[in-house]
A and B are shown apart, each in its own frame.
Chain A
Amino acid sequence: MGKYADDEQWSDVVPLPTDEGGDNPLAAIAYSEEYEETMSYLRAIMAANEYSPRVLDLTEDLIDMNPAHYTVWLYRAQCLFAIDSDLKEELEWLNETALTHQKNYQIWHHRNLIVDKLDQCEGETAFVESMFERDAKNYHVWSYRQWLVRRFGLWDKGELEFTEQMLQRDVRNNSAWNHRWFVVNGQEGAAGVGDPDIRAREMKFAMLAIAKAPQNQSPWNYLRGITKKSGMSLAHLKDFAEQYASLDQPDNIHSSFALDLLADILVEEKNTKQAAQALDLLEKTYDPIRKNYWAYRKEQLGLPAAVA
């Protein structure tokens, strides 16, 4: 009849078929026989709260058919822990599965549970890096990496260099920038960019990245983040911003982000008139899709309408 119905090993289980709720359910899925059967055994097993090696086989089957099935993943994790299963073996299986189902919340949460329980992360950073070769901006993978760093204290174990490598490949990869921010500033009690040496190093890093491609928002945001977190005056960035956007050369602007920064620097200098000029350039010429936003910023300056 089916894989499970025909199996001696499962003969003690009475499967629970899907309750569709009625004769005419909405968006009902015409499950394959295999899926329907496996699910009905899972329901029976879960109803009995069974944790056993065969549950691992059953959940593996279901995950193959539907990797987004969060219940199966959660139940599998409970089962693994309950029967004290070999978690390294689980990780090996996960490595294969992850390659086929990368964009999936569940698989990364599962990995997180397993590695946490294992209490060691050997090989994990390398595995994560292999994932980035397929998709260098995968949100779940980056979140997992951040968890790894925090959980195992990997702050100064090559993590900064790793972000450099990722940014070497694509200086516009904002996920890598975010990770770098986390590595520098995320540790509890760490001064991060509050420390003058670290701040100088990070500012230099961002500025070099900007020199490579001035119209790249990521390092500009990073630079802004540094000034904000460290409470430093924006004035230190004026010369730098003016290399890419100077009001003396309004027709020779190399980055809208430089112009935006310059506007804030001028506001800090209380030079609202020039700040308005910078915002005007953004509104009228260099960033027309955000016309309303720049107009709003100009309004915030509190200048009489005629000047703005």
Chain B
Amino acid sequence: MAAAKEDGNDTLDELLKDKARIEELSSDEEEVFKRGNNDAANVGGGVPFPGMDQLKPKRKLEYLPPWLHDASINLFHDDLETPTSEAQQKTRAECLPLLTGEDTQGLELNIYGLPHLRRQKHTDFLRTTFNKLPAPYQVVDASRPWLFYWTVGGLSFLGEDVTQYRERLIETVRPLQNPTGGFGGGHGQYSHCACTYATVLALAAVGGLEVVDRKAMWHWLGTVKQADGGFRMAVGAEEDIRGAYCAMTVITLLNLPFELPAEAPARKAGLDTFTDRLGEWVGRCQTYEGGIAGAPNNEAHGAYAFCALACLSILDVPHKSIPKYLDVQALASCLASLQTMPEGGFAGRTNKLVDACYSHWVGGCWALLQAALSGGSSGRNSVKLDDLWSREGLVRYLLCCCQQPGKKGGMRDKPSTRPDGYHTCYSLAGLSAAQNHYSYSKEGQAVDKQSGRLIAAFHWTAERPTVGEMKALKFDEEDRVGFVHPVFVLPMDVIEATRRQFAESRL
């Protein structure tokens, strides 16, 4: 310990020098927010920072954000090396040159020096998923509905019209629907919560939900509801929080009754509705770290945090249901800690690596969590006041590190991995969370008095960033992703159309 402290003193002087610079940068950034519409040329020019002399002349980055400053990167260095720290070093090394602009991978840059969003390339990449897939893809034969969702979801976030796929998607999913309700991964496969969720969302996106047998769906969902309040993924399969989120999404979007069918096994345990004991069960998934596990006692994980928050946001208005079942401050602390330094994206668990998919799973939590924390007061006063996370960090990570360069397009976990539909869809959803504002309307009600439908999740509004915010986060209009519903992860207008489609529907 003593030795460590001495080392600390040795670097003290340098640290202080660097610290002063960081502060300079910080105040400058605040200026950017305040000045809003001012010309970008006025922003941040000439601010000194170490490493400037290493820049390639064509680079347009005026300055680096504080967490990419040498002083920040080298703040703490524990001597003890373990597999975790080695993996972190490796990731940092592959990301840093991309984050600082030292290596732009040949991507076209926006006026702030960050790569443009490769809209057309990502669109092309996603569309190829719908082509005939070669035989090695048979390992995803049980998860084809995810391919439908990631593709139409990702495309619609990019503003593409996906209704052209309506007829083909309806045709394709017909054999996946079981007469006893729900969708499986393929023809002859058992109905499964994840497959059902993905199919329903994909159908909603293309406007094809009429193919769903709602009554059978309601009966099938009754078979996966458990006496303890949670849901199994399929009859006889594992019970985890994905099941809870997927099932509640389907029930709400399709306006299914939230009473359990008469034959549902959970009725024998005294449950009457799909929501009985659900909030309590979700609460049991919160761990000593403050985060949410897939099931009680397991490890906290970012993807399950989203499932928990979104599920509770369906049960009731978020500022009521979320604090009722979760320790919100502990969760906020845990989620904030998942934003990795220096990469700026999110990791899924404590001491794990950054991965673009958590841009949605964790990045998507903030709108829900901030709605819970703001206690029902609507809207935002300013980005700075309300945000608990770094939008700027996430935008930079996604644009610099997660876009596949070259002909192919698509988005990836991190630079050393290959792009795929999953990462492309959730990177775009995360980018939307970082670029846009989502707030919960004051007038939100949990249940529609007339129909009995759970409507809490239908009261979100989206707002585009101001020009000043775009400058501060360093993206152009052409880099902006459309609005993505914070609970259902589809375009806002798709969710509104779906709400209306079934507003009057009875079984």
Contacts and interface: CB of A to CB of B under 8 A. Distances in A.
Given A26-B168, A291-B66, A254 B342 contact: no
Interface in B96-141: 129-135, 137-141
Contact of A26 (B169, B186, B298, B341): B169
A109 interface: yes
Interface in A1-40: 16, 18-22, 24-32, 35, 39
Q: A174, A177, A284: which has the most chain B beta carbons within 10 Å?
A: A174
Interface string A32-74: 1001000100110011000000000000000001111111001
Interface string B413-434: 0000000000000000000000
B500 interface: no
Contact of A170 (B65, B82, B144, B387): B82
Nearest to B343: A289
Contacts of B350: 174, 177, 217-218, 221
A178 B188 contact: no
Nearest to B69: A288
B31 interface: no
A162 interface: no
B238 A109 contact: yes
B132 to A, nearest CB: 5
B45 interface: no
Nearest to B287: A178
B298 A31 contact: no
Nearest to A283: B26
Interface string A222-239: 101100110000000000
B288 A252 contact: no
B453 interface: no
A82 interface: no
Interface in A171-208: 171-175, 177-178, 181-182, 185-186
Contact of B175 (A21, A171, A185): A21
A20 to B, nearest CB: 7
Interface string A287-308: 1111111011001000000000
Contacts of B190: 70-71, 74
B83 interface: yes
Contacts of B26: 284, 288, 291
B37 interface: no
A77 interface: yes
A210 to B, nearest CB: 10
Interface stretch (B9-17, B264-272, B403-411, B458-466): B9-17
A285 B19 contact: yes
A143 interface: yes
Contacts of A112: 238
B82 A171 contact: yes
Interface residues of A, number: 89
Interface stretch (A88-96, A120-128, A134-142, A271-279): A134-142
Chain B interface, DSSP helix/strand/loop, else mixed: loop
Given A43-B187, A292-B390, A68 B148 contact: no
Contact of B171 (A24, A77, A212, A295): A24
Interface in B142-182: 142-144, 147-148, 151, 165, 168-169, 171-176
A212 B294 CA distance: 30
B411 to A, nearest CB: 18
B84 A172 contact: yes
Interface size range on B against A? 35 or more
B55 interface: no
Contacts of A47: 188
A29 B144 contact: yes
A22 B337 CA distance: 48
Contact of A21 (B4, B69, B173, B393): B173
Given A181-B288, A221-B350, A174 B299 contact: yes
A296 B143 contact: no
B339 interface: yes
B319 to A, nearest CB: 16
B384 interface: yes
A71 B186 CA distance: 10
A163 interface: no
B4 A254 contact: yes
A216 interface: yes
Interface of A: 16, 18-22, 24-32, 35, 39, 42-43, 46-47, 65-71, 74, 77-78, 105, 109, 112-113, 136-137, 139, 142-143, 146, 150, 169-175, 177-178, 181-182, 185-186, 211-218, 221-222, 224-225, 228-229, 243, 251-252, 254-256, 260, 284-293, 295-296, 299
18 contacts: A22-B174, A26-B169, A27-B151, A29-B133, A29-B138, A32-B138, A70-B192, A170-B84, A185-B288, A224-B288, A225-B287, A251-B12, A251-B15, A252-B8, A284-B22, A290-B390, A293-B333, A296-B388
Interface of B: 1, 4-5, 8-9, 12, 15-16, 19, 22-23, 26, 65-67, 69, 72, 75-80, 82-85, 129-135, 137-144, 147-148, 151, 165, 168-169, 171-176, 184-190, 192, 233-238, 287-290, 294-295, 297-301, 330, 332-334, 336-337, 339-342, 344, 349-352, 384-385, 387-390, 393
Given A29-B132, A182-B297, 14 more contacts: A16-B188, A22-B172, A29-B144, A35-B138, A70-B189, A137-B352, A174-B299, A181-B287, A213-B79, A216-B351, A218-B350, A221-B288, A285-B19, A288-B341
